């Protein structure tokens, strides 16, 4: 009888001890797994730049999520709450959404899907005209609206002063870029394919601007004179451009590229290279393929 009592006491003490140790031990967080029904794809990109190769969806640990880009390809008005839950649970900061409509953008923004994002990519949203819901995204540092071919009014962008990276490449209806004057922290700006812009002076005072991609309709590069800190320039489809003298003023240039600029000859680029900082890459490429404003050109 005493043996049974001893065993019972031993088991009780062991149970209580193990329970106490379990309570004192740090909690073990289960691996965060992307819900397959939500059709998220994960890219190994950083800072909101759309990478060329995707990763297979799988188990993603929370610390990794802030450095990755999530493509919410199955998002719609019916499952926005489920997506919002996953975005918050995984502490996602960078998101890609394609072919979004004006109504969907209002719905997603109102639902709080974008609240904590620092990077948002809405490329190829051809129906998107109204971006006013983005004004509340005060944490955004990177925004891509490239190939939003119906977008014309970008006034809302003036409300996003933390932006350091902005891509409007391929937004062919944009004519006025005055709102960009209110974005003093811009470092990388893509305006290639925006053929209706008549004046680029709103960006002439951006002292932090390092790389610039653009399409100019004339031969006037005087607006670049106040940007001596530029490190990279990408000119796409500039039919009248042939005076490159202003570029010789830049002492920090690392690369210059001309894509389908018909008047820029090899002789001109060879002469320019001799006047630019040592090691600066200069290239003129023919229109073999369409330029890709899906990313901000930061390196030739």
| Residue appearing with tokens 């320039």 | 233
Domain that holds residue 175: 164-300
pLDDT tens for each residue of 28-55: 323 333 444 456 665 543 333 333 323 3
Who has greater pLDDT, 204 or 26? 204
Same-domain pairing of 172 and 247:
yes
Give whole-number Cα distances, 131 to 50, 82, 83, 100, 169, in Å. Answer: 20, 23, 21, 11, 16
Nearest to 208 by CA among 186, 189, 190, 224: 186
Assess if residue 33 is contained within a domain: yes
Q: Does 151 reside within a domain? A: no
Give me the number of domains the chain comprises.
2
Token pair belonging to 283: 């290239």
The answer to whether residue 20 is domain-embedded is no
Residues 110 and 187 in one domain: no
Which tops the pLDDT comparison, 72 or 223?
Answer: 223
Estimate the share of the chain in helix, then strand, then coil, as percent rounded to the nearest 5. Answer: 30, 15, 55
Is 90 exceeded by the pLDDT of residue 79?
no
Clarify whether residues 173 and 118 are in a common domain.
no
Residue 105: pLDDT above 90?
Answer: yes
| Dihedral angle, C-alpha 53, 56, 62, 67, nearest 10 ° | 0
Residues pairing with 143 in the sheet: 120, 166
pLDDT per residue over 190-206, tens digit each?
A: 999 999 998 999 999 89
* Structural domain includes residue 62: yes
The CB density around residue 299, as the number of other CB atoms within 10 Å, is 10
Query: What is the CATH classification number for the domain harbouring 264?
Result: 3.80.10.10
User: Does residue 171 share a domain with residue 111?
Assistant: no
Answer whether residue 22 is part of any domain.
no
- The whole-model pTM stands at 0.79
């Amino acid at each position: 009888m005493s043996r049974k009592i001893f065993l019972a006491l031993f088991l009780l003490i062991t149970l209580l001890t193990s329970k106490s140790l379990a309570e004192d031990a740090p909690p073990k967080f289960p691996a965060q797994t992307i819900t397959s029904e939500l059709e998220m794809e994960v890219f190994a990109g950083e800072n909101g730049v759309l990478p060329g190769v995707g990763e297979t969806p799988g188990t993603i640990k929370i610390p990794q999520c802030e450095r990755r880009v999530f493509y919410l390809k199955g998002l719609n008005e019916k499952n926005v709450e489920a997506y919002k839950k996953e975005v918050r649970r995984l502490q996602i900061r960078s998101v890609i959404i394609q072919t979004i409509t004006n109504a969907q953008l209002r719905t997603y923004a109102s639902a709080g899907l974008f609240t904590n994002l620092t990077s948002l990519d809405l490329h190829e949203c051809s129906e998107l005209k109204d971006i006013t819901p983005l004004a509340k995204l005060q944490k955004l540092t990177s925004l891509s609206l490239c190939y939003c071919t119906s977008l014309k009014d970008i006034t809302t962008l003036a409300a996003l002063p933390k932006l350091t990276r902005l891509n409007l490449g391929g937004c062919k209806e944009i004519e006025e870029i005055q709102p960009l004057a209110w974005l003093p922290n811009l470092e990388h700006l893509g305006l290639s394919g925006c053929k209706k812009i008549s004046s680029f002076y709103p960006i002439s005072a951006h002292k932090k601007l390092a790389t610039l991609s653009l399409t100019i309709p004339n031969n006037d590069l005087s607006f670049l004179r106040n940007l001596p800190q530029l490190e990279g320039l990408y000119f796409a489809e500039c039919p009248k451009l042939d005076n490159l003298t202003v570029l010789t003023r830049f002492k920090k240039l690392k690369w210059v590229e001309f894509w389908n600029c018909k008047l820029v000859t090899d002789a001109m680029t060879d002469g320019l290279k001799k006047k630019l900082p040592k090691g600066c890459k200069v290239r003129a490429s023919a229109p073999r393929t369409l330029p890709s404003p899906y990313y901000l050109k930061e390196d030739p």
